[in-house]
Amino acid sequence: MKVNVHYSNLHLDELYFSGKTSVVIDVLRASTVIVTALANGAREVIPVGTVDFAMKVSGNAFGGQTILCGERNTKKVEGFNLGNSPSEYKPEIVSGKSIILYTTNGSRAVVKAKFSENLFICCFNNLPAMAKHLLALNKDVEIICAGTNGNFNLEDAVCAGRLIKEMEIENPDIEISDSGKASLVLNKDFGKTIKKMLKETEHGKLLSENGFGADIKDCAEFGTTDLIPFYLSGAIKKLEAGTQNNPVNENKSS
Ligand code: MLT
At 79-131, the pLDDT tens digits run: 999 999 999 999 999 999 999 999 999 999 999 999 999 999 999 999 999 99
Statement: residue 24 has pLDDT above 90: yes
Q: Which of ligand 1's atoms lies nearest the C-alpha of 108? A: 2
CA distance 118 to 123: 17
| pLDDT mean over 33-56 | 96
| pLDDT mean over 47-74 | 88
pTM of the model: 0.94
* Helical packing angle, 202-209 and 154-170, nearest 10°: 130
Each residue's pLDDT tens digit, 207-244? 999 999 999 999 999 999 999 999 999 999 999 876 65
CA distance 100 to 69: 6
Domain residue ranges of the chain, discontinuous segments joined by +? 2-236
CB 21 within 8 A of CB 141: yes
Burial of 219 (0-12, 13-18, 19+ CB in 10 A): buried
User: Tell me, what's the pLDDT at 101?
Assistant: 98
Instruction: Name the residue of 28, 69, 145, 151 whose CB sits within 8 Å of the most ligand 1 atoms, as the mutation to test its pocket.
Output: 28
Residue 249: pLDDT band (50, 70, 90) is: very low
* Helical packing angle, 178-190 and 154-170, nearest 10°: 100
Each residue's pLDDT tens digit, 130-179? 999 999 999 999 999 999 999 999 999 999 999 999 999 999 999 999 99
Q: Which residues line ligand 1 (CB under 6 A)?
A: 26, 28-30, 71, 74, 84, 103-106, 146
Nearest to residue 27, comparing CAs of 143, 125, 117, 97?
125
Ligand 1 center to 53 CA (angstroms): 17
Coil, helix or strand at residue 168: helix
Statement: residue 252 has pLDDT above 80: no
Let me know if domain 2-236 sits in CATH 3.10.20.30. Answer: no
